[in-house]
Amino acid sequence: MARTLSFSLNNTQFDAQIIKVDRTHLYGTVSIQTDDMDGKRCSVATLAVDGKTLIPKGGIALGYINPDGEWVSRDQLKPVDLSGEPVEEVESSFDAPIVLDTKSNVDEYLNHSVRLVYRLKPDNEFPGDLLSELNSGTLYKFGFSYRGGVGYDPAFVMSDEEDNIWMMITRENAVETVGLEQAAVCYGENLDNDSENEDNDDSIDFSML
Amino acid sequence: MPNINLSDKRNRDAVVKAESIGIDEPVRYLGPKGGQTYTRRVLKCTTEHDYETLLEAHGDAESISQALIAGDPEVDLERFGQFLWNTSKVYINPDEELVFRVQQTEVVRDTKGKLITKRNRESEEPNVDSDVPLRWTGKLIPKSQAIRQFVFTAKLQVVHINGLTYDFLYAMAEELANANSLMLLGAGEDGKQPLIFRRGSIPYRAFLEGRIVDKRYVLLLHLSNMELKRRVENRKSNQSPV
């Protein structure tokens, strides 16, 4: 069952279900099946540094320790930003209407990498104001947090060419101009790991990826 | 960061850098004494104490529950909780024995989870820094149209490595900025293949964007493996994407 978000635009409130869309929904899946040479199904495990301790899936936990090596429980942790200032915890975006009061533009959107894609399905109808703004190319930017916690993710509401309304959950990138004497600053983003193919015409084939 | 061999509209090519531009986690956590905390991986269970081993030892689930009440057969007090480092990923068989030779098969399913085919796994070789440069396909897509057509899941910033490549990239950025559009890039001899940065990694469609401010430029490689469109309904499977 899709969850419902409330939005507010120009003091008009409306509700919309969020329907997640990812590659599996569009192109299907490829899973890797691993067998030994006798045809028995294998699974991935972790081998400890002693070379003999086998740790099954789910057998590793993550814990926090302080500089003295002492265990710190999660409720003792205090989130701070890079300058050491406390970071305020935010509520889940499902707890209160999301106010669409910040317009964005294509260049700002292009500075973000999309993490999650949701199609918005209105409980009734989208307000006419929203549709006309989105259809004219406007994007709305806001902070989104699914469960609440530390900080919001930048999110955008936009329409596509078939008038579907989308909510894109993103992460910001550090895009900086580069001059002759200066190389761009290097930050750390990873390209994930994972493949099919086809080649006939000039159309861009995504099912081959 | 990877080198990429990139050509321009005139098919002049040069090897340049593609840098990651993601921002590191802006939040850190302090402990009760005010010091910075660190995450450590901790041993929680081994194959000698997992459910399958306990089932083998005790016969059935009811007997396991009685054993759990009577003692701690699922815990190794000497070892559980120890920090882990330098671990390795390995394959084990159903008897929880290490396996040294495996055969891998790709299981392809459609959007409804129906099996389409099984085939031997093949890892594609990287193609962004090969003898054949990445090419401009000539497919120029206005920015406002591109963001409504494709989902850009990752980005790399293309930067120069010397004065010559500065001129090369600046000219490219200027042309794309004037067009206010993204250029689809392609790999391989035919210039139509998706980009593969590491062996066996996700292939991406790549779109090049240019911006200029005075004598400074931005060349962004927008990477996408998905179109922005409604999903095919009634899918059951929850496996990794094609």
Q: What is the pLDDT of residues B17-60, one digit of tens each?
A: 999 999 877 788 999 988 899 999 999 999 999 998 999 999 99
Search chain A and give the residue with CA nearest B200.
Answer: A194
B31, B86, B205: residue with CB nearest A204: B205
State the fold for domain A1-24+78-176.
Ku70; Chain: A; Domain 2 (2.40.290)
pLDDT of residue A191: 53
pLDDT of residue A93: 97
Q: Is residue B90 part of a domain?
A: no
A 129-148 → B contacts, CB under 8 A: 137
pLDDT of residue A197: 39
Domain count, chain B: 1
Asked if A80's CB is within 8 angstroms of B28's CB, the reply is yes
Q: Is the pLDDT of residue B131 over 50?
A: yes
Q: Which residues of A touch B224 (CB under 8 A)?
A: 206
Cα gap B81→A152, rounded to integer Å: 33
Return the SS3 of B236: coil
Task: Please enumerate in sequence order all residues whose Cβ is within 8 A of that of A154, keeping only pairs 6 or more positions apart, or say none.
Answer: A112, A141, A143, A144, A169, A170, A171, A172
Q: Is the pLDDT of residue A183 over 60?
A: no
CATH number of domain containing B193: 2.40.290.10
Determine the residue among A135, A191, A194, A208 to mutate to test chain B binding: the one whose Cβ has the most chain B Cβ atoms within 10 Å: A191
Where is average pLDDT lowest: A43-47, A90-94, B235-239?
A: B235-239
Q: Which residues of B touch A113 (CB under 8 A)?
A: 22, 152-155
Q: Is residue B199 part of a domain?
A: yes
A48, A65, A185: residue with CB nearest B38: A65
B 170-229 → A contacts, CB under 8 A: 184, 190, 192, 194, 197-198, 200-205, 209, 211-213, 215-218, 220, 222-229
pLDDT of residue A209: 59
Identify which has the larger pLDDT, A33 or A205.
Answer: A33
Q: Is residue B166 part of a domain?
A: yes
A86 contact B CB<8A: no
Q: Is the pLDDT of residue A205 over 90?
A: no
Q: Is the pLDDT of residue A17 over 60?
A: yes
Asked if B197's CB is within 8 angstroms of A191's CB, the reply is yes
Strands (E), B8-134: 13-20, 27-30, 38-43, 88-92, 98-99, 102-109, 115-120
A96 contact B CB<8A: no
Q: Is residue B77 part of a domain?
A: no
What value does the mean pLDDT take over residues A165-183? 91
Q: Is the pLDDT of residue A186 over 60?
A: no
Search chain B and give the residue with CA nearest A190.
Answer: B20
pLDDT of residue A182: 72
pLDDT of residue B1: 66
A 158-177 → B contacts, CB under 8 A: 158-162, 164, 166, 168, 171-177
User: For residue B123, what pLDDT band results from cuts at 50, 70 and 90?
Assistant: confident
Q: Is residue B210 part of a domain?
A: yes
pLDDT of residue A184: 45
pLDDT of residue A207: 60
User: For residue A177, what pLDDT band results from cuts at 50, 70 and 90?
Assistant: very high
The chain-wide mean pLDDT, for chain A, equals 88
Residue B174 class from Cβ within 10 Å (0-12 exposed, 13-18 middle, 19+ buried)?
Answer: middle
B142: which 2 tokens?
Answer: 């206005």
Residue listed under structure tokens 């998905």:
B226
Cα gap A118→A3, rounded to integer Å: 11
Tell me the pLDDT tens digit for each residue of B132-185. Answer: 999 999 999 999 999 999 999 999 999 999 999 999 999 999 999 999 999 999
Helix H segments across chain B? 51-58, 61-70, 143-146, 163-179
Question: How many A-B residue pairs are in contact by the CB < 8 A criterion?
Answer: 374
Q: Is residue B206 part of a domain?
A: yes
A53, A68, A114: residue with CB nearest B151: A114
Tell me the pLDDT tens digit for each residue of B221-240. Answer: 999 999 999 986 654 444 44
Asked if B21's CB is within 8 angstroms of A187's CB, the reply is yes
What torsion do the CA atoms of A106, A111, A114, A118 make, to the nearest 10 degrees?
-30
Cα gap B180→B140, rounded to integer Å: 9
What value does the mean pLDDT take over residues B77-86? 92
pLDDT of residue A195: 40
What value does the mean pLDDT take over residues A135-162? 94
Q: Which residues of B touch A53 (CB under 8 A)?
A: 43, 46, 79
Tell me the pLDDT tens digit for each residue of B99-109. Answer: 999 999 999 99
What are the domain boundaries of chain A? Answer: 1-24+78-176
Strands of the sheet containing B115-120, edge to edge, are A29-36, B102-109, B115-120
Where is average pLDDT lowest: A183-197, B124-138, B174-188?
A: A183-197
Cα gap B55→B64, rounded to integer Å: 7
Asked if B203's CB is within 8 angstroms of A209's CB, the reply is yes
Closest by CA to B241, choosing from B89, B121, B110, is B110
A1 contact B CB<8A: no
C-beta separation of A165 from A126 below 8 A: yes
Return the SS3 of B210: strand
B60: which 2 tokens?
Answer: 């059935």
Q: Which domain holds residue B137?
A: 3-23+124-227
